[in-house]
Structures are given as C-alpha cells and as structure tokens.
Amino acid sequence: MDELCPQCKNEKIGDGKIFNQPDYVAPRAYFRPNGLRTFALLGVNIRIENRFFVCSKCGFMWAKVSTEQLMRVIRESGTQQTKLKLGIPAEV
C-alpha cells in the first residue's frame, strides 16, 4: 500500500472496515459536505466505500469518496464560499 498518513506522514498504515455491532459490517454510509446551500437536500450524499485507513503512529483514520461525485455535489449545491475554497470557478 502506498498510503501516507495525511496528518503525520507516517508510512505504516493499516486498513479495515467499520462495524456497527460485533461481527456485523455497518450499513452503507454517506458523506455530506459542509458548505452546501441551505435547502440542498437531494443528490448531495456521497457514498463512502467501507474501506478505511488508520495510522499506526498517530491513530488518524480516514476513508475515500468518489472525487467525481464530490465535485458534482459542490458544483451543483455548494455555496460560493465553498466553491472558492475548493478552487471551483465562480458561476457566470
């Protein structure tokens, strides 16, 4: 695995799944970015693959989402401030 910890840059990274009860893999989980317009409700949840990474040095844990889905949600439902923060061109 060629992952580095995003927090401390350690190379000793483990991976695994999230469980919600003993021996039961958690149901589908979704990520909803902050910085969306107030009434943005439909199509703004991004599916999280149940594969998480953890750093053996600092304990930081992270996951990945589809960047295509993330950018679509931000383009369609993000506030101007969020778009600016993420480098998405302002609407004309």
Containing 20, the helix (H) or strand (E) segment is strand 19-21
Query: pLDDT for 11-27, tens place per residue?
Result: 999 999 877 666 666 66
Per-residue pLDDT tens digits for 2-60: 789 999 999 999 999 877 666 666 667 788 888 888 888 888 888 888 889 999 999 99
Which residue stretches of the chain are H helix? Answer: 67-77, 80-85
Terminal-to-terminal C-alpha distance of the chain: 42
Q: What is the mean pLDDT of residues 63-86?
A: 90
Position 30 scores a pLDDT of 80
What pLDDT is recorded for position 23? 61
Query: How far is 46 from 51, CA to CA, in rounded Å?
Result: 14
**pLDDT confidence of 92, banded at 50, 70, 90?**
low
Please answer whether residues 2 and 11 qualify as being in contact, where contact means their C-beta atoms are separated by less than 8 angstroms.
Answer: no
